[in-house]
Structure 1
Amino acid sequence: MLLEISKNTRIAVLLSPLVIILIGFVTATIFSRFINEWAWIPLALVYWTSLALCIAFFKGNKRVKDWLKKSKPSKLSISLALIFGLFPMSILIMNVHLLDSPLIIVLWVAFALINPWFEELYWRGLLLDAAIEWFPKWISVGYSTLFFMLSHPLMWGVFSIANSHYHVFINLLLLGIVWSVIYFKTRSLRWAIFSHFLVNIGIMTVPVFLNIYVPPM
């Protein structure tokens, strides 16, 4: 189903990453002055709220369940989802000893379960659908992936050492492209969300936010 929205609404959607990233940066900067790395919690809440509001106000004729409908069969997409989702598990296996706090474990799993829904519905759902009506696929994917990639160092990187490293740009570039391809091939966000969940588990998101785990630079 095409995203049927007015020209002005489409422009608003295409410009919304700038606003979301700016709000996230300001939130991270302010809260990190008072609670240091724990600023990830208010940032996550503000970020998810911003994404949810964009989806709610700009989705036009689309319903959330349209993005989450049953996937079209695609062995390539399933393979990509699993390969890229499971690849970061080596990080978890080698650093599982750092998960020595029940609170950190609960927050890490909760973030991994919640975050993919908001991010995929926005970055690969709303934004990609809005761009594809005006631009070729490769430009649309590049546009969505560029801002998805920049959002991490500009928001989470304010307090997280790992999120400001150049490795993040490479990894997010690949993931943004792969998850976009999966969406196009399956006409659904289900496998992209599942792959995103695996990545969030594997890269130990919350320990990374708290600088408990800092990858070798």
Structure 2
Amino acid sequence: MLSAFRSPKILFLMPVFVLIFTRIAIEISARLLPINLSWIPAFASYYLCIEICLWIAKNQLGIVISSKKNTVLPIPAFKQFFFGILLPALIPFGVFISNYKAVPNLVYVYIVVFALINPFFEETFWRGLFNNLPIAPIKRQVLSGFLFSFSHYFLWGSYWLSNPRILIPTCVTTFIMGWCWMWFYQKDGRLIYPILSHIVVDMFNLSIAVFLGMKLANT
């Protein structure tokens, strides 16, 4: 039984585990709590599943996502920084500028707290851990982008992002972001820059998408 956990192929099952168990937690939370509160246990379950996968990867496969390289210096090469970090961060900027006045100030407080936590979990899992998949680097980029995008549809698409006006752009842009961040990570070897870019994205994009998604879901 334990030998199965020592095979690199177990990495392919980890996103399945994370998505299924988080979705179960979402369904339970959505039925027991108001929609504006149900995201709290949902995300807690999401992060717990990610931590379980990281623990298995470390203790059974010897995969450690080191934080020693997570320094901002030296500055990355311009091409890597522009296409891998700056471009993904700016994708939701137009949506934010067009809609930020519609979002209550209290929502921004929640989003800032969320944006300072969420990227560390997601980048460590969808980029850091996925870069150890036993497949070609370009395939890791595509798979990382696809599953990162699919996770938004599968996990959050039924509730907070249920309206197609929110869900479809979110899935398209998260695929691009996931691909770009993985490409940068493979080139540079540091997660700190994808994490920082992800923080900016969450502050710009989620403050609008989640609030408007919840508002549209209740109309």
* TM-score between both structures, scaled by the size of structure 2: 0.83
Does structure 2 conserve the Cα–Cα contact (< 8 Å) formed by 1:28 and 1:40?
A: yes
Q: CA deviation at 1:162?
A: 4.6
User: Could you tell me which of 76, 81, 89 is aligned with 1:78?
Assistant: 81
User: Could you tell me which of 170, 176, 184 is aligned with 2:178?
Assistant: 176
Distance in 2 between residues matched to 1:67 and 1:213, nearest whole Å: 41
Distance in 2 between residues matched to 1:54 and 1:105, nearest whole Å: 30
Fraction of identical pairs, as percent: 24
Distance in 2 between residues matched to 1:57 and 1:90, nearest whole Å: 40
Distance in 2 between residues matched to 1:88 and 1:79, nearest whole Å: 15
Cα RMSD, aligned residues only: 2.4
1:61-96 CA distance string (max 9 Å, x none): 525314635566321121121122023122222222
Does structure 2 conserve the Cα–Cα contact (< 8 Å) formed by 1:24 and 1:46?
A: yes
Q: Are 1:109 and 2:112 counterparts?
A: yes
Distance in 2 between residues matched to 1:144 and 1:20, nearest whole Å: 14
Q: Which residue in the other structure is 1:24 paired with?
A: 22
Name the SS for the 1:158 alignment partner. Answer: coil
Once the two structures are superposed, the pairs formed by residues 2-151 of structure 1 within 5 Å of their partners are: 8-37=6-35, 38-59=37-58, 60-66=62-68, 68=70, 73-80=76-83, 81-102=85-106, 104-129=107-132, 131=133, 134-151=134-151
Unaligned runs of 5+ in 2: none
Q: Are 1:198 and 2:197 counterparts?
A: no
Unaligned runs of 5+ in 1: 1-5
Name the SS for the 2:190 alignment partner. Answer: coil
Does structure 2 conserve the Cα–Cα contact (< 8 Å) formed by 1:98 and 1:212?
A: no
Distance in 1 between residues matched to 2:93 and 2:72, nearest whole Å: 27
Q: CA deviation at 1:125?
A: 0.3
* TM-score between both structures, scaled by the size of structure 1: 0.83
Bigger RCO of structures 1 and 2 (CA < 8 A, at least 6 apart): 1
Distance in 1 between residues matched to 2:103 and 2:120, nearest whole Å: 24
Q: Are 1:158 and 2:158 counterparts?
A: yes
- Code of the residue aligned with 2:155 in structure 1: it is M
Give the number of equivalent residue pairs. Answer: 205
Does structure 2 conserve the Cα–Cα contact (< 8 Å) formed by 1:108 and 1:207?
A: no
